[in-house]
């Protein structure tokens, strides 16, 4: 099987036996989602980097508690997100998260007219602004589920709540966002 | 699963178009940190040792007196048992309030503790009203919290040299297959299966063993590392009750049988 990338199970098993290189591969695989999750929680890239780094180190030290065969993403995200929340708590401030559309953003689809493309871009930009304006709780659950594309289990881990709570919190947050979208559209 | 609404679809479409801050390369810094000698080798190198012997420990558990089936039950007690050839030596308990010294959380009242957790807090009638009550909530405690009843020593129950109190009765609940306690047992510690009023459990006795708490994020809370004295662990309808003290097995069983 030369050249075959090790799967997560193999990497965790090796890391649990003290193989630091295997753990570095795990960090490499999950650092983006971990960093972005921490960013959504702290609203600061610097704090997110610190939280992700600290979280990965703590996870390494707690590898003995990782159950073989378990999903690694929720396990890692729970630890990193916990670290991010601790950072927010200890500094007593959460930076205002300001997500933006990428520079040069062009809506997908089959060559829309410049006018249609402009309208679509404006719609998305407006929707993102409305997400940014939500309360911390609503923005966190919507950002985790849709913008970070975390699963229900991962969102629960990232927010430190039960999966059932994710569903109810998401439903309420979507209702409030929908109301704001309708309000702005009707204005 | 219900179809996503138009709003949900629009939100999902946004995910690919966002301008995220560039993800830093965390690998070099983390690699250095996990390879560096630890700053607190008194505990963590020993914990690493314990982790390294986890497979050996599992093998040891398989030859312990309870059967393979019983081992699954141990995990349902939310307690990870590890048999190690030599116990780590914890630092002396820090000074300060009991809750801090033993990692029990904040002092509260029985009625407040009852109101903060999802289960009926069981009180051993043969010990009576606890002298102190502590509550530990997530993220420092187990996912549904932990309540500890503290009893000072009395003529029939000496004050323990390990905990500084007579009896600790600790209660927690959790879903199956989540562990939030860990015990490291040295060669001088015995583990016996017990049944108290139809509730199954284990009696850990002999030489003091190591007790640790795993928090709701799965982190081992190293500050909770301490030596524990004789302990009875039972599952009372989903509530895990730990009765700890310099007790005989008979005394511990009597205390557990009077829970209500």
Note the pLDDT tens digit of each residue in B5-34. 888 888 888 888 888 999 999 999 999 998
**Interface membership of A130 toward B (CB under 8 Å):** no
Can you read off the two tokens belonging to residue B64?
A: 């312990």
The pLDDT of residue A112 is above 70: no
Q: Classify burial at A8, counting beta carbons within 10 Å of its beta carbon; exposed 0-12, middle 13-18, buried 19 or more.
A: middle
Cis peptide before B139 (omega within 30 of 0): yes
Beta-carbon contacts of B41 under 8 Å, excluding residues fewer than 6 positions away, are: none
Q: What is the pLDDT of residues A56-85, one digit of tens each?
A: 998 888 887 787 788 889 999 999 998 898
The pLDDT of residue B90 is above 70: no
Do B26 and A127 lie within an 8 Å CB cutoff? no
Q: Which domains does chain A have, with CATH numbers?
A: 8-91 (1.10.1740.10), 114-186 (1.10.10.10)
Q: What was the pLDDT predicted at B146?
A: 87
Over range A126-135, report the average pLDDT.
90
Question: How far A62 CA sits from the closest chain B CA (Å)?
Answer: 6
Prediction ipTM score: 0.85
If pLDDT is split at 50, 70 and 90, which confidence band does A35 have? Answer: very high
Can you read off the two tokens belonging to residue A176?
A: 């409030």
| Residues of chain B found within 8 Å of residue A124, distances taken between Cβ atoms | 10, 13-14, 17
If pLDDT is split at 50, 70 and 90, which confidence band does B169 have? Answer: very high
Q: What was the pLDDT predicted at A71?
A: 86
Q: What was the pLDDT predicted at A99?
A: 77
Q: What is the pLDDT of residues B97-148, one digit of tens each?
A: 676 677 788 889 999 999 989 899 999 999 999 999 999 887 677 778 889 9
Q: Which residue of B has its CA nearest to A144?
A: B15
Rounded to two decimals, the pTM is 0.52
For an interface test with B, which of A61, A108, A131 has the most B Cβ atoms less than 10 Å from its Cβ? A61
Mean pLDDT of chain A: 84
**Interface membership of A20 toward B (CB under 8 Å):** yes
Of B14, B34, B177, the CB nearest to A128: B14
Q: What was the pLDDT predicted at B96?
A: 62
Sign for the CA dihedral angle at A19, B211, B170, B230 comes to positive
The pLDDT of residue B222 is above 70: no
């Amino acid at each position: 099987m030369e050249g075959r990338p090790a799967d997560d199970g193999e990497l965790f098993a090796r890391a649990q036996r003290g193989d630091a290189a295997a753990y570095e591969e795990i960090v490499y695989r999950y650092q983006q989602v971990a960093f972005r999750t921490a960013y959504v929680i702290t609203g600061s890239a610097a704090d997110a980097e610190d939280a992700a780094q600290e979280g990965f180190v703590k996870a390494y030290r707690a590898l003995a508690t990782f159950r073989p065969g378990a999903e690694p993403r929720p396990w890692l995200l729970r630890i990193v997100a916990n670290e991010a929340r601790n950072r927010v708590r200890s500094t007593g401030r959460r930076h205002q998260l300001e997500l933006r559309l990428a520079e040069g953003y062009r809506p997908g689809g089959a060559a829309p007219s410049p006018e249609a493309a402009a309208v679509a871009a404006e719609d998305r930009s407006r929707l993102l602004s409305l997400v940014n304006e939500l309360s911390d709780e609503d923005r966190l659950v919507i950002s985790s589920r849709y913008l970070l594309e975390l699963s229900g289990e991962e969102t629960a881990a990232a927010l430190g709540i039960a999966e059932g709570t994710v569903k109810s919190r998401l439903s309420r947050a979507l209702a409030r966002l929908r109301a704001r979208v309708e309000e702005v559209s009707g204005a | 699963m219900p179809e996503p609404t138009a709003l949900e679809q629009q939100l999902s479409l946004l995910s690919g178009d966002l301008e995220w801050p560039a993800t830093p390369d965390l690998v070099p810094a983390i690699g250095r940190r996990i390879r560096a000698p630890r700053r607190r080798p008194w505990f963590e190198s020993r914990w690493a040792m314990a982790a390294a012997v986890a497979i050996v420990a599992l093998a040891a558990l398989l030859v312990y007196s309870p059967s393979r089936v019983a081992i699954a039950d141990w995990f349902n007690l939310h307690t990870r048992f590890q048999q190690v050839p030599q116990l780590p030596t914890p630092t002396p308990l820090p000074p300060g309030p009991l809750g801090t010294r033993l990692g029990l959380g904040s002092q509260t009242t029985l009625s407040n503790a009852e109101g903060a957790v999802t289960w009926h807090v069981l009180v051993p009638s043969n010990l009576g009203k606890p002298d102190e009550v502590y509550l530990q909530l997530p993220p420092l405690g187990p996912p549904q919290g932990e309540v500890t009843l503290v009893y000072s020593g009395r003529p029939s129950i000496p004050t323990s040299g390990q905990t500084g109190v007579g009896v600790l009765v600790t209660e927690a609940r959790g879903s199956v297959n989540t562990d939030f306690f860990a015990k490291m047992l040295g060669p001088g510690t015995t583990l016996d299966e017990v049944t108290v009023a139809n509730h199954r459990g284990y009696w850990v006795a002999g030489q003091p063993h190591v007790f640790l708490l795993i928090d709701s994020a799965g982190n081992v809370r190293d500050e909770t590392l301490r030596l524990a004295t004789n302990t009875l662990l039972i599952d009372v309808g989903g509530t895990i009750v730990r009765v700890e003290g310099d007790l005989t097995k008979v005394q511990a069983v009597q205390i557990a049988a009077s829970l209500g």
